Amino acid sequence: MIDFSNTLRHGRHRLLMSLAALLVGGTALASPGAHGPNGEHLDGPAQTTAGASSAPRMEAKSESFELVGYLRGDEFSMLVNRFETNEPVLNAKVEVETGALKAPAKFHADMGDYAVDDAAFLKALKAPGTHAIVVTIIAGAESDLLDGTLKSEGADADAGTHSHDDGDGHGLPLTAWLAIALAAIGALIYALSRRSARSAAARNGGAR
């Protein structure tokens, strides 16, 4: 006789392993400074925010920090990490400079990024061409200057927008999406367990 309960248990285990791998992969993709298997820094921090792949991008690093920035229609957004540990740098003082323009970057706790929304600064970055950018980071007793360049095609800079308002569901942080995924997994496990119990009860009833 085929042991259906054992088959269901194995199928449930494989499903959980696959879902866990997807969740871990999603967390890694959201991490702003991925490292390779030997600890090397990869091409640059990745983002899952819509429009990030097509938005003009800047990367910069020093002995202490690394960052990636994206120019969108409404802001210049940056994620900052510590270079050695890949630990996110939160609540630091960040200032961005290009040419004769300077602007502070506001820290957004919901997304963990620093964003410049100064109209004159954004207009300068959206001008077609390559723009040299200097980022000043002051995190506690540590401070550093990071140099990078951003190439803008003009129209492309308006393609993506980035909202920090998660009230409408479009700006939900990663933790919220993970919670939703875990709830879905729990419901699926419950359904499979009930199905397994009914199968076992049916077999026992038939045996009598």
User: 108, 162 in Cβ contact below 8 A?
Assistant: no
**Structure-block tokens of residue 172:** 């939900």
Q: In CATH, what number does 38-168 get?
A: 2.60.40
Q: Where are the domains of the chain?
A: 4-29+174-207, 38-168
CA proximity to 103, closest of 71, 128, 130: 71
Phi first, then psi, for residue 150 (nearest 5°) are -130, 125
- Cα(198)–Cα(187) distance, integer angstroms: 17
What is the block-wise mean pLDDT of the chain (208 residues), using blocks of 10 residues? Answer: 50 51 43 48 43 79 95 93 94 96 95 95 95 96 95 63 50 60 72 71 64
- Cα(44)–Cα(48) distance, integer angstroms: 13
- Cα(50)–Cα(22) distance, integer angstroms: 19
| DSSP E strand stretches across the chain | 57-61, 65-71, 76-82, 93-98, 101-108, 113-116, 129-139, 142-152
pLDDT at 183: 73
CA proximity to 163, closest of 79, 72, 28: 72
Distance from the Cα of residue 77 to its chain's centroid: 12
Residue 88 DSSP symbol: B
**Structure-block tokens of residue 187:** 């419901």
| Length reported for the chain | 208
- Cα(63)–Cα(52) distance, integer angstroms: 26
pLDDT at 173: 56
pLDDT at 172: 52
- Cα(102)–Cα(100) distance, integer angstroms: 7
pLDDT at 198: 73
